[in-house]
Structure 1
Amino acid sequence: MNRRFHLGRLATLLTLPALSACSSGLNALKPSSTYVATVGVSYGPDPRHKLDVYRPSGKPPRGGWPVAVFFYGGSWHWGSRTEYTFAGEALASRGVLALIADYRLYPEVRYPGFLDDSARATGYALREASKLGGNPQRVYVMGHSAGAYNAAMVALDERWLKAQGQSPASLAGWIGLAGPYEFLPISNPQAQVVFHHPDVPPGTQPIDYVKRDAPRAFLGAARSDHLVNPVRNTEQMAERLKSAGAPVELKLYDGVDHVTLVASMAWSLRWMSSVLDDVSGFMLAEPATTPTTAAKSAAQ
């Protein structure tokens, strides 16, 4: 099997015309009784520094709901939080407080601008979780495709959360769906401009930041994903985490592809895969140690 992942295929990733065309239908068909939404919350000074909050209906459990900060895909060129109300509803319906975050895109920014934004949104979640009804000890970063790259970098590379006065040890874990974690060399012109090709800076690959005390991870991918190679990316990342001694769960899905993997979280498509049950179960399960304990252990 050719293990080379050409980032050029990202030109047809999620939130491109494929999902953008159907997201209005997915969003329109979602239930409205499972959540309470607060839209357009600012987490920073830029117009793109906005997120929507989806609180589960009813009272939060003791300690607060688990919190998921979700980043969508789109080659770092496309996407809007308004296209992902179905994801906010899906997570809230399972008892997870969901924050669907926008971040700056090309050409407004190139690498690492969107990582600064992702860390800023995550820092907001860590600071404000209690006020929102969430548990600040159970904050997760989650993403699909390019958004999974963002989530992985925030969770694994301490540079980004450090700028927000936080660290990856503050996270309860991270969730990557069909993410690119090791994708050099870059061949697609759209992706090349995002990562400064041919002068790609060092340190752009999430897989290079794996270490034993990384936050616990859930990695999922479609077995038949022809856009982001699940072997080179998802399986290799899972193996690297496992070899380092970091906790990781791996799930490969049949019957879905790169786009329908995340679309199957929508109420009308949940018959396609168990991804929603799997990621929500991962977040609802009590971790072996709290982020605070992990931070103390790492410092010793």
Structure 2
Amino acid sequence: MADVLTPTCKPRRRWLVWTLAVLALLGVGGFLLYRQALATEAVAMLDTADRILHGGDGTIHEVAAVRYGSDPAQKLEMFLPAGAAKGPLPIIVFIHGGGWRSGDPHDYRFIARALAPQGYAVVLAGYRLYPKAQYPGMLEDGAAAVRWVADHAAALGGDPKRVVLMGHSAGAYNAVMLGLDQRWLAAKGLDANTLRGVVGLAGPYDFYPFESEATRLSFGKAPNPEETQPVVHARAGGPPLLLVHGIADTRVRPRNSVELARTMTRAGAPTRAVLLDGVTHEGLIMMFARPFSRDSRAFDAVLPFLAKVTASPAVQASGR
């Protein structure tokens, strides 16, 4: 059976009081941010608040803002920790959510502010959205972004031999599928098995038949719809997976992570589904931005996994 972890401690009341106090200092805009971010993925506003509370972008240094394809959505931004010694740093390629219909990597700079100072190069990758693209367009674009990383990241301070994919919601689907279904990276001359790991945050991995509008629009014309599902591609020998989900997520049910973890484990690849009590779909990604990052449970799950899978072979062999 899969290793399903369920931290049961709820955020402290002091955290909630502190959060509301900080947002009150931001005025009416802060209150609207709190409401809207809980109701929708208002990540642009969330990123602005995070930048303000960080005192600007002083913790990160942008080293690239490029297009990896001809479409305006085929773009990425790469960040290093400010003042970092010359690489090479392990690379996190983060893929945004938005139901495959919305989202922009620029609005997720709070991910770079959260993770780059931990010693990582962070690449925020965009992809074509509906109606410009449907399945498998998002996977083709994700593979193209990873190809760009393989070709260019070393010159910018990253280590293309230590790449972890990470995504939230629809982006978690993209990241996990790139790790499990080897076709898409292979089409770009890459081996999915060389990825150091994949982190899925509140991802849909087992959603056929397509019941929501977002899945019908982006996957409804797939000739073999069952093949669009990550659970179908569960296998041993691929990159390690970490699946994090909020128990209070009603948009993408936590059973998606639980079922994929169980299926991976049955396939011979023991996989953890980390379930966070009281956390919603939007709440999970908000935990990577200030002031919500005071609830550190998402970090406490993700950071040890990143450190383990990106460690040098000697460190991995030692078991440290």
Q: Deviations over 1:61-106 (max 9, x none)?
A: 7x72111110111110010112111111111121111100111000
Q: Deviations over 1:105-142 (max 9, x none)?
A: 00111111111101111121223232221222210111
- Rate the CA distance shift 1:200–1:13 in 2: closer, same or farther, 3 A: farther
1:285 to 295, 300, 308: 308
1 CA distance for matches of 2:282 and 2:309? 30
Structure 2-normalised TM-score? 0.79
Match of 1:263 in 2: 286
Match of 1:215 in 2: 239
2:263 counterpart of 1:248: no
2:177 counterpart of 1:130: no
Larger Rg: 2
- Rate the CA distance shift 1:110–1:100 in 2: closer, same or farther, 3 A: same
C-alpha deviation, 1:228, in angstroms: 0.9
Match of 1:152 in 2: 176
Alignment-mate amino acid for residue 283 of structure 2: T
Quick check: 1:72–1:147 contact (8 Å CA) kept in 2?
yes
Match of 1:5 in 2: none
Match of 2:66 in 1: 41
2 CA distance for matches of 1:36 and 1:19? 20
Match of 2:22 in 1: none
C-alpha deviation, 1:34, in angstroms: 1.8
C-alpha deviation, 1:54, in angstroms: 1.3
- Rate the CA distance shift 1:193–1:252 in 2: closer, same or farther, 3 A: same
1 CA distance for matches of 2:310 and 2:138? 29
2:162 counterpart of 1:102: no
Match of 1:238 in 2: 261
Quick check: 2:170–2:203 contact (8 Å CA) kept in 1?
yes
Match of 1:179 in 2: 203
C-alpha deviation, 1:53, in angstroms: 0.8
Could you say what secondary structure the match of 2:134 adopts? coil
2 CA distance for matches of 1:17 and 1:142? 17
Question: Where in structure 2 are there 5+ consecutive unaligned residues?
Answer: 1-35, 314-320
Q: Deviations over 1:168-202 (max 9, x none)?
A: 11211101000000101112234312112596634
Could you say what secondary structure the match of 1:267 adopts? coil
How many percent identity over aligned positions? 37
Q: How many residues matched?
A: 277
C-alpha deviation, 1:39, in angstroms: 5.0
Match of 2:215 in 1: 191
Alignment-mate amino acid for residue 262 of structure 1: I
2 CA distance for matches of 1:15 and 1:30? 24
- Rate the CA distance shift 1:271–1:222 in 2: closer, same or farther, 3 A: same
Alignment-mate amino acid for residue 218 of structure 1: L
1 CA distance for matches of 2:111 and 2:149? 17
- Rate the CA distance shift 1:45–1:85 in 2: closer, same or farther, 3 A: same
2 CA distance for matches of 1:101 and 1:263? 18
Question: Where in structure 1 are there 5+ consecutive unaligned residues?
Answer: 1-11, 291-300
2 CA distance for matches of 1:80 and 1:204? 23
Quick check: 1:123–1:164 contact (8 Å CA) kept in 2?
yes
Structure 1-normalised TM-score? 0.84
